[in-house]
Structure formats: C-alpha cells, structure tokens
Structure 1
C-alpha cells in the first residue's frame, strides 16, 4: 500500500488552509479519511530508524509535531490540529514493533484527549475571528465534532471495561454545546457565508449525544435556543440537515409520548428523505410503523415495500389486528421483543395489542347478528375460542397448545374488566350492566373508528415537565460568548 510522507501531508494542509478550502481540510483531518492509513504506514517504515517511535504512544514529543509547526501556515490552528489528529490516529490504530515484536495496543482515552484538543483549537479560532466570515470552515467543524463524539463513545467503553467511570461522552457534549453556540450566535452579515448555516447539523449531533447519555430533557435547551435565534427558515438549510433535524425532533416527541406530533414529523422526514437513503428510511420506519399500529392504521404495502426487514417484522402484527387474532399478535410480540426493545418501541407495539382485541370483539358482535345487547359471557366464550383457534395455527405441539390455552383463558370478571377498559379507551361505545352481566352497545357505530392518540392528562404533563427541569439543572451553569472567548473557549456556551 502506498505511503504518504509527513511533509507531503503537511503541504496539503497548508495549501488547503491558505485557500480556505474547508472540504479538503475536512478530508485531511477526518479520522476515517483515506490519508490515515497511508500516514501511519509511513510512520511505521523500518528505515525511519529511531523515528519509528512516532508510530507509538511512547514519546511525549513526536517529531512530526515540529515539522507541522515549521511547514504549515501559522495564521490559524492548523499545525496544532494536524498534530492532535495524527496523535489520535496513532492511539486508535495499534501496531507491532518489527524489531521486538511487542504489540502496542490502542488507547481510545488518549485518542479522545487529542481529538478534544483538535476541536478546542478550531473552536477558539472561530470565536476569535469575529470580523471574518468563517462559514467556509463548517465542513471541517462537522467532521471533527462528529469524530469527537465517536471517539468519546469508544473511550467510555474502554473506561467501563477497566471498571472506571464513563465520563468522556458527557465531557464531549459540553464542547459540542460550545460549537453549537459558536454557530448559532455568529454575527456575520452574509448568511450564506455565516456559521449559522451549521446550526442544525450541530443541533442534531447534540440530540444524538443526549439520547445516548439518557438526558433527552436537555434537547429543550437546543430547541429553545434555535427558536429564539435569528435564523433563516429551515427550508434554507441543506436538505440532509432538514431531514435529520426533523427526525430527531420526532424521536424527541416520541420519547415524551407526544405521539401525534411525532407521527407528523416522522411523515415529513420520510417524504423528504431521498429514496436511495435506505438506512435513513429504515430508521424512520422503526418509529413510524409502531405509531400507525397504535392508532389502528395499517401500514400500506407501498410503505412496507420500502424495507423488507420491516415487512417481516410488522406484517404479522398488522395481519393479527385485521383478523382479531390475539394469540398470533402475542406470538409475534414475543418473537420480536428483542428487536423492539433495541429501538425503544416495544411498549408502543404492546399497547397496540388492544386493537387486535377490538377486532376480535367486533367479529363476535357481527357473528351474533349485530345485536344491541350482548352478555359478558358471550364475549368471553368468543374470546377464549378465538384464542384457542389462533394457537392451533401456531405450530406448537399439542401439549404446549393446551398449556398456553389454559393459562390464557379468562373468566367473566376478567372479561368484564377488559370490556370496561375498551369502553374507557373509546374502542367500544356502550356501557356494562353489572347486575345483569350485559353489555349495552351504542346504536351508532358501537365499534367506532380509532380515535386520535389519547391525552395523558394534566398530571402526566406536569410530572414530565418537572423531570425535564431536574435533568437540565444537572448541567453546569451557562456562560456568555464574551466570557467563553476570554477564557480561551473553556466556558460553557450561553443557553437560551
């Protein structure tokens, strides 16, 4: 494999910095760039003599640091960033000493420290350049911030493996907040060349970080800051930023159990997503299809055709709801439990089981000739019989079928409770006469169309607000942009 000489690499960075070529700088300072392995191969060449130690973490002063200082333009942090970048690459890619055959292991914690220095250097440069347009550096800012989050996750995994506290991702989130504030509060008059055009990218990166940290309430600070800022409309930003922002806003609404808002936002994101972005489409469908099932809406064949994985996963659920086959729904829920838990949608799909129960009760009512009254016992017999029929098609052995059937059978009191629950949720119109053990059904559509998502009530909303406030208070107090600049970019960004 060809190698890339350190001097050639330094020259490329110098040229890109002189011409303010943000995209080239981004590719040259990306931890996943093509140059990485070629530079590492050059550092590991046997003919470099004692300089081979640059390929390890054994030296506190690698020789390439001095070469970068001499070669790269001093009008900016580029030499410092290049040094930290190569150091991070060395830390992430283990190597064997060709003479002693000693294996130098990777160290994600060191890589994180160096990547943190890279991002901090760029942040200080952007904050100091108040009278200059620095929008050209946004591609570079995107790459180094994205790499910082990835390396922070690896560092936390390493710390946990060594029985230490994982704090690197939380620490990285504070630096990402500063970068977000740096973009949001840019005062450049030309919006097209302003750092404000990077606001939504940094916002979605913070969303992803907060979700991983289980601190979703902190997303409100980002949303509030964007709402208060003088930003162009979302449609003015790159389409990729729009789709990603809508997706994370939808996930945030989903986690807060605001399902109506979540479904609308997921639909918007899906409509804007390019048809070739299969992975992005699957991420959206992971949430959108469970929301449709919860509302009693079957995903269309066209929607399921977008992803074979989702067709296999959710097709049986939709079919069980259509036929009122509660047993089939429960079997599929058991099979898909692990996959649904991974996406955080298990509880929503479990709640959608009541739609299969509704279908079963409606079939019983139709088979009885659509009477105005039906006894609780009649509903109970239909429920148990239908459950037994559903088990017969399960492929289980006769002994297992009999065991599951006996455990799943319900008595009259349980049936009455189930019917009362269906009436309360609006899936059945009527009332129960407990004294006569009768269900008096409404003359006008006793099994109405599915109502919108149910309101969780004022008490639930207030409890959620208190929880979000307590989570936000765990973060360090904000500082103004002026204070951040005076401290060399070490203060937290101003929060709206």
Structure 2
C-alpha cells in the first residue's frame, strides 16, 4: 500500500532533482505504484474520501493534496491528478468477498484524463523556451505511450457500444504536436535538448498511423526529420534507432519497395540484442518473406532465432529447394491466417515462383540439359507434379479419393498457359532464353539458363569466384538421359 503523501513526496523529489526517469515510473499506467496507490484509495478508514474511487466526483480529494504539495511553477499537480484519475477509471474497485468489480472499466474517461495529462506536459515544454527540458523526455515518452494504448482501449469500448471510434485519431494529433515540440527545440546543448526524443516520437507516430491505415501521413514525419538539424542517427539511443529503422522498413514494405525494406530489416536485425525475442520475431515477420520472394533461402542460423518462424517457413524453404510447388501451396493454405495477420500473405504467395522455377530446372536436368526444350515437355512435368501433389493431399486426408480425377482435370494447364508461365519466368529473370512460338520451343541460354539469385549479403569476391567456378563445372557435367540410364542398368543385370 502506497500512502498518497509518500507518492506526493516521490513526485516532488523527482521534479526538484529533474529526474525524468523517476517521474516516468511514477506516472506510468502500468507502474508498480498503481495497485498500491489504488489500495490506499480503497482503505475503509478513509470515510467519505473513498468517494475518490467514483468517476463522477468533480474534484477528488487527492487533487487538492497534489496542488498543496507539488511545485506551483509547473504542470506537475495536473499531471498527477489526471494520472490517478485515469488509474481509477481503468481499475474499478473489487469486492473482497465476491471478487466482482464495483462498476465498469471506463477507457473513454481514462483516455480523456490521459489526454489532459499529456496536454499539460506539452504546454509546459512549449512555454519553457529558455529552460533546458531534455531531462523530462523519459516522462514524455511514458505519457505519450500510455496515451496511444488507452486510445486503442477507448476505441474498442466505443465500437462495442455502437459508437464511432475516434480516440486514436484524436491521440495522433496530440502526438504530432509532441513530435514537433521535440523536433523544433532550439536548445544550444544538443545532447540535453528535446531533439533527442525525435526518433522515439516518430516511431510512436508510425505505429499509430499504421493502426489507423493512414500510412500517407508517415511522409510528413520523414520530411520533417530530413529537413531538421539533428545529430547523426548513431548519437541516439540504440532502442530509438532500432524502432525507427524497423518502422521505416515497414513503410517501404507497404509501398512495395522491397529492396529498401529488406535493407532496413537487415539493419534493424543487426542492431537488435539477441535477448529481445519479441523484436526479433517482428523483424523476421517481414524479412523472411522478402528473402523468399527474392529467391534467397533463409539460413538455418536466421530461422533458428525464432522457433515460431522456423516451424512456419521451413516447409516453404523445403518446397522451393525441391521444386515442389504443390507442397508450397499446401503450406500456404495452412499458414494463410497467420500470414494475413501480418500482411505478408501476398508476398509469400508470389514467392511460389521459386518452387515453379525449381521444377522447371529439374525437368531440364532430367532431359539432359538440352539447348532447346519443347513447351509440351515442360507442361508434362508441371502436370505430373500437380498430380503428385493431389496424391499427397489424399494421403493427408485433405482431399477425398473420388475428387482426385475432377481436380486433376481442373488443375492441369494446357500449352498456352504453359507458354504464358514460361514467358513470365523469362520476363522476371528466373529463366534465361526465349520462346519460339512457331516451333513451340524454349531456346535456353548457353550461359546459366537458370541463374542464381544474388546472395543474402555480400560475401566477398572469393565466394563469388568459387560459386562461378562451381556453376561452370555443373554446366560441363554430362547428364545421361533417363532412358539411356535404364538401358545400361538392364544390360548389366545378371
């Protein structure tokens, strides 16, 4: 139990010593002080003061105590009062005998009080132009973070009651003001300036805009940062750099600028501590699909960083390696909900082309690596793989036996569809050569008809030289046709 007087003393100590970290702990909605302070408000010996737990009180008793105890030349009494009011709204009293709540959680009321607390702090930061206020940044981080969280809860409550959800959008406008307050600070000491909070507020706004599906507003944040006189990104805390780099990569991903997105996710992953499992998983949610769509296999070391991603993506990797596009489609159906939840389903679906490319290369190898190969031969291999996939579905119980023939006919492709598929593979650089439509032939390039993809990262000239030599040896290797191999086996049989 935390006595209100002790709470006031701790707040006053943090203000007098400009200890923003201590103040941030004391005004966090999920702080350790919250249940202890609420227990004190529930004390039976408080008498009429227990009405402080009701939301309809225009002036709770703790507001007067905050005004008497805390410094008068700042927003501290208002921040503390609104903070406790928000706690009361989010945590109704509990009957100790039945364990039931006396009242309902009112997230809308809590949001309004949290909004008032952030507004009070923002006005103080704006008015204190000649005073160093960088020490209050930890406090600003916490109240803005809690504002966004409570706004989401308030919107859920409004939707449940049949009202329009507007609180998160309203919160974004106040967060934008706080961002500008940090970005435009003119303090001479840059390291003690509010500018050091720019990237934290930018990341918080990115997260808010993504939730609101207002990604176009992210451009305003980026333009403001690019035009501002900020220290280099390396001068900011690592947590801020990782978050900003991650959200910039997500923004690039949503614009379908996949090369830029991949570079951003790789950079963010390199800066993330190995113990931050949740952050690593959030990065891998996007990075692995981007690697797959580029035709790069995620390394076992990369997949091992998250057991969930290893289970989810290992079947995709095996399917691409073996050229089994039917297995790829099965795993795509299994993982559909999880991929759609992260917004990466379409990217993983596009990566199916890698499995088709693997099948075409297998067909070319089995035919003896000819310089020309008919479209009909490619089509027969494709339809055979489709039929094998249906048999596997029957074995797994996903398809009834009596549906196999019908699905075979519906899944088989004709010559025109196969020619279109091959043309797309050539256009996307997955196959080198050209199609002779008149002769229904694919004329394959003599130099790497199935080129390798660029590596995940630059591994140096020695690696690239060794890989080129290995490919040359592969091209020079003579592959016997399947019929010749069978005849040789028959001739040597006793």
Fold conserved (TM > 0.5)? Answer: yes
1:429 corresponds in structure 2 to 432
After superposition, the C-alpha distances for 1:225-254 in whole angstroms (9 at most, x for unaligned) are 111111100000001111111101110111
Pairing of 1:304-453 with structure 2 (within 5 A): 304-394=303-393, 395-397=395-397, 398-399=401-402, 401-450=404-453
1:111 corresponds in structure 2 to 110
- The whole-number CA distance in structure 2 between the counterparts of 1:304 and 1:366 is 30
Secondary structure of the residue aligned to 2:175 is helix
Deviation at 1:102?
Answer: 7.6
- The whole-number CA distance in structure 1 between the counterparts of 2:363 and 2:291 is 25
After superposition, the C-alpha distances for 1:419-462 in whole angstroms (9 at most, x for unaligned) are 11111212112222222222222222221223799xxxxxxxxx
Secondary structure of the residue aligned to 1:431 is strand
1:139 corresponds in structure 2 to 138
Indicate if the aligned counterparts of 2:203 and 2:244 stay in contact, CA closer than 8 A: yes
2:48 corresponds in structure 1 to 50
Indicate if the aligned counterparts of 1:184 and 1:195 stay in contact, CA closer than 8 A: yes
Q: Structure 1 pair 149/375, CA: closer, same or farther in 2 (3 Å)?
A: same
- The whole-number CA distance in structure 1 between the counterparts of 2:244 and 2:349 is 28
Q: Structure 1 pair 273/98, CA: closer, same or farther in 2 (3 Å)?
A: closer
- The whole-number CA distance in structure 1 between the counterparts of 2:454 and 2:418 is 23
Secondary structure of the residue aligned to 2:435 is strand
1:93 corresponds in structure 2 to 91
Deviation at 1:345?
Answer: 0.5
After superposition, the C-alpha distances for 1:54-111 in whole angstroms (9 at most, x for unaligned) are 1121312111111111111112110110000000001111224689988211110000
5+ long unaligned stretches in structure 1: 454-496
2:172 corresponds in structure 1 to 173
Indicate if the aligned counterparts of 2:372 and 2:442 stay in contact, CA closer than 8 A: yes
After superposition, the C-alpha distances for 1:307-338 in whole angstroms (9 at most, x for unaligned) are 11111111111110110001000000000000
- The whole-number CA distance in structure 2 between the counterparts of 1:287 and 1:171 is 29
The structure 2 residue matched to 1:36, chosen from 29, 34, 37, is: 34
Secondary structure of the residue aligned to 1:104 is coil
Q: Is 1:185 matched up with 2:160?
A: no
- The whole-number CA distance in structure 2 between the counterparts of 1:300 and 1:102 is 51
Q: Structure 1 pair 452/255, CA: closer, same or farther in 2 (3 Å)?
A: farther
Q: Structure 1 pair 322/149, CA: closer, same or farther in 2 (3 Å)?
A: same
5+ long unaligned stretches in structure 2: 457-494
Indicate if the aligned counterparts of 1:247 and 1:265 stay in contact, CA closer than 8 A: yes
Indicate if the aligned counterparts of 2:296 and 2:455 stay in contact, CA closer than 8 A: no
Deviation at 1:115?
Answer: 0.2
After superposition, the C-alpha distances for 1:323-366 in whole angstroms (9 at most, x for unaligned) are 00010000000000000001110000000001110110110011
Deviation at 1:404?
Answer: 4.0
What's the TM-score once normalised by structure 2's chain length?
A: 0.88
Q: Is 1:25 matched up with 2:23?
A: yes
Secondary structure of the residue aligned to 1:196 is helix
- The whole-number CA distance in structure 2 between the counterparts of 1:50 and 1:400 is 75
- The whole-number CA distance in structure 2 between the counterparts of 1:230 and 1:132 is 20
- The whole-number CA distance in structure 2 between the counterparts of 1:244 and 1:440 is 49
Secondary structure of the residue aligned to 1:103 is coil
1:16 corresponds in structure 2 to 14
- The whole-number CA distance in structure 2 between the counterparts of 1:183 and 1:284 is 27
- The whole-number CA distance in structure 2 between the counterparts of 1:15 and 1:282 is 39
Deviation at 1:399?
Answer: 4.0
* Structure with greater Cα Rg: 2
Indicate if the aligned counterparts of 1:426 and 1:451 stay in contact, CA closer than 8 A: no
After alignment, is 150-159 or 39-48 more displaced? Answer: 39-48
Q: Structure 1 pair 441/102, CA: closer, same or farther in 2 (3 Å)?
A: closer
Deviation at 1:214?
Answer: 0.4
2:244 corresponds in structure 1 to 245
Pairing of 1:463-478 with structure 2 (within 5 A): none
- The whole-number CA distance in structure 2 between the counterparts of 1:104 and 1:9 is 26
Secondary structure of the residue aligned to 1:432 is strand
Deviation at 1:412?
Answer: 1.6
- The whole-number CA distance in structure 2 between the counterparts of 1:48 and 1:406 is 80
- The whole-number CA distance in structure 2 between the counterparts of 1:288 and 1:264 is 9
- The whole-number CA distance in structure 2 between the counterparts of 1:9 and 1:402 is 75
After superposition, the C-alpha distances for 1:383-428 in whole angstroms (9 at most, x for unaligned) are 1112222343443344455554343221222111111111121211
Secondary structure of the residue aligned to 2:295 is coil
1:151 corresponds in structure 2 to 150
Secondary structure of the residue aligned to 1:7 is helix
1:483 corresponds in structure 2 to none
RMSD: 1.8
Indicate if the aligned counterparts of 2:92 and 2:101 stay in contact, CA closer than 8 A: no
After superposition, the C-alpha distances for 1:19-46 in whole angstroms (9 at most, x for unaligned) are 1111110000000001111111111122
Q: Structure 1 pair 97/308, CA: closer, same or farther in 2 (3 Å)?
A: closer
After superposition, the C-alpha distances for 1:171-201 in whole angstroms (9 at most, x for unaligned) are 1011001111111111111111111111100
Q: Structure 1 pair 247/326, CA: closer, same or farther in 2 (3 Å)?
A: same
Indicate if the aligned counterparts of 1:95 and 1:105 stay in contact, CA closer than 8 A: no
Secondary structure of the residue aligned to 1:369 is coil
After superposition, the C-alpha distances for 1:124-151 in whole angstroms (9 at most, x for unaligned) are 1111111111110000000000000000
